[in-house]
């Protein structure tokens, strides 16, 4: 006779405490490739080699999981680009960290491009929860840099657009990078070389 399961009824089997990080990482990949509408919790579970019930156990719903993905990625971005003491550094350090972060985590820029194009509730969430507060935090740092001559004086949002596009583009088109330069856009060597290019274009001294 089969041995009865001792797990509480209604609880998913497996090791749910171990599953959450794997599910979150799988969701980052899934949403960055397919956007919110194209992604499924079943697909995310398959990527994580887990089960769909565990997705709902940890995150409740696809919507809540998507917000957890956004909050996690923007948390990584803030920690990478604006660590303690960042206000005392040269702006080149901020640009360098942002470029290297985008090289390491292109999924954030991909998700934003997909959802921004749709201009729906997710774009609103991203703007209000993350991008506007982050911009407000960076604005005084950039204004000080402009006053010191480290950046040309210009409208701060225009500067943001320029730096975002310059820092992220090759990591969003890895096949173009591979075909034209023979490099892997995900390699640390390419990320470092491209970061130095970005700094040179912005007229920062190379490291």
Q: How many other C-beta atoms are found inside a 10 Å radius of the C-beta of residue 68?
A: 18
CB 95 within 8 A of CB 199: yes
Instruction: For the chain, list the strands marked E by DSSP.
Output: none
Instruction: Decide: helix, strand or coil at residue 178.
Output: helix
Question: Structure pTM?
Answer: 0.85
pLDDT in tens, the chain (207 residues): 444 444 444 444 445 467 899 999 999 999 999 999 999 999 999 999 999 999 999 999 999 999 999 999 999 999 999 887 766 677 888 899 999 999 999 999 999 999 999 888 999 999 999 999 999 988 888 888 888 887 778 888 888 898 999 999 999 999 999 999 999 999 999 999 999 999 998 876 555
| C-alpha 152 chain-centroid distance | 28
Q: How far apart are CA 18 and CA 59, in angstroms?
A: 14
Residue with tokens 């956007």, as numbered in its chain? 35
Domains of the chain in sequence order: 15-60 (1.10.10.60), 62-201 (1.10.357.10)
């Amino acid at each position: 006779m089969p041995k009865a399961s001792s797990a509480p009824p209604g609880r998913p089997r497996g090791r749910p405490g171990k599953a959450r990080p794997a599910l979150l990482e799988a969701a980052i990949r899934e949403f960055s490739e397919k956007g919110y509408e194209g992604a499924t919790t079943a697909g995310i579970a398959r990527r994580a080699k887990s089960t769909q019930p565990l997705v709902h156990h940890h995150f409740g719903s696809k919507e809540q999981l998507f917000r957890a993905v956004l909050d996690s990625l923007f948390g990584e971005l803030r920690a990478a680009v604006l660590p303690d003491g960042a206000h005392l550094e040269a702006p080149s350090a901020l640009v360098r960290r942002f470029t290297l972060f985008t090289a390491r985590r292109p999924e954030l820029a991909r998700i934003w491009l997909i959802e921004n194009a749709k201009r729906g509730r997710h774009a609103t969430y991203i703007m209000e929860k993350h991008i506007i507060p982050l911009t407000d935090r960076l604005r005084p740092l950039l204004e000080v840099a402009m006053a010191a001559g480290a950046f040309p004086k210009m409208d701060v949002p225009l500067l943001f657009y320029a730096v975002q596009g310059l820092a992220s583009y090759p990591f969003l088109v890895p096949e173009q990078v591979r075909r034209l330069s023979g490099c892997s856009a995900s390699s640390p060597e390419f990320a470092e070389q491209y970061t130095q290019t970005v700094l040179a274009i912005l007229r920062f001294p190379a490291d």
